[in-house]
């Protein structure tokens, strides 16, 4: 029995939204404290919505599938909606993850949230604060 669900394999074999965004509005980088891996999310924001999301991941099959799924889930959402993407929801969309790989889904959600935080703090910095 394969350790990963079909959905995980699908995203792992052909991940969506791999890459970076030139002049991204926000960048979030998260290291995995458990195994030492790393994810970087890039976001493009328009009218308070995630117009584009891209990622780079150094990690296992689950981490790559998680990144792909998180990017799919995030694109088109408002920033507040995207902040509601939790590791649990990501794992559920992936039709489950092995127990010892659940931490990889934390990594994905956190990296995305960090990118949004980064965008928001930049906005504040600009003094515009178009929250």
Q: So which residues are the catalytic ones?
A: 35, 104
- By CB under 8 A, is residue 18 in contact with another protein? yes
- By CB under 6 A, is residue 37 in contact with ligand FES? yes
Minimum distance of another protein from residue 73's CB (angstroms) = 18
- By CB under 6 A, is residue 27 in contact with ligand FES? no
Could you write out the DSSP letters of every residue in the chain? Answer: --SS-HHHHHHHHS-SSBS--TT-SEEEEEE-TTT--EEEEEEEEETTEEEEEEEEEES-HHHHHHHHHHHHHHTT-BHHHHHT--HHHHHHHTT---GGGHHHHHHHHHHHHHHHHHHHHHHHHHT----
Query: Which residue's CB is nearer to ligand FES, number 50 or number 70?
Result: 70
Minimum distance of another protein from residue 100's CB (angstroms) = 6
Q: What does the binding site for another protein look like in residue numbers (CB under 8 A)? A: 12-13, 15, 18, 20, 29, 34-40, 56-64, 100, 103
């Amino acid at each position: 029995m394969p350790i990963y669900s079909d959905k995980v394999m699908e995203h792992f074999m052909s991940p969506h939204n791999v890459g970076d965004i030139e002049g991204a509005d926000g960048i979030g980088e998260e290291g995995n404290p458990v195994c030492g891996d790393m994810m970087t999310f890039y976001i493009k924001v328009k009218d308070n919505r995630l117009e584009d999301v891209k990622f780079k991941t150094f990690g296992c099959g689950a981490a790559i599938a998680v990144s792909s799924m998180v990017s799919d889930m995030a694109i088109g959402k408002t920033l507040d909606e995207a902040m509601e993407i939790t590791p649990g929801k990501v794992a559920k969309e992936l039709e489950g993850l092995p127990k010892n790989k659940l931490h990889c889904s934390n990594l994905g959600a956190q990296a995305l949230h960090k990118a949004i935080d980064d965008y928001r703090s930049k906005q504040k910095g600009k003094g515009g604060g178009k929250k």
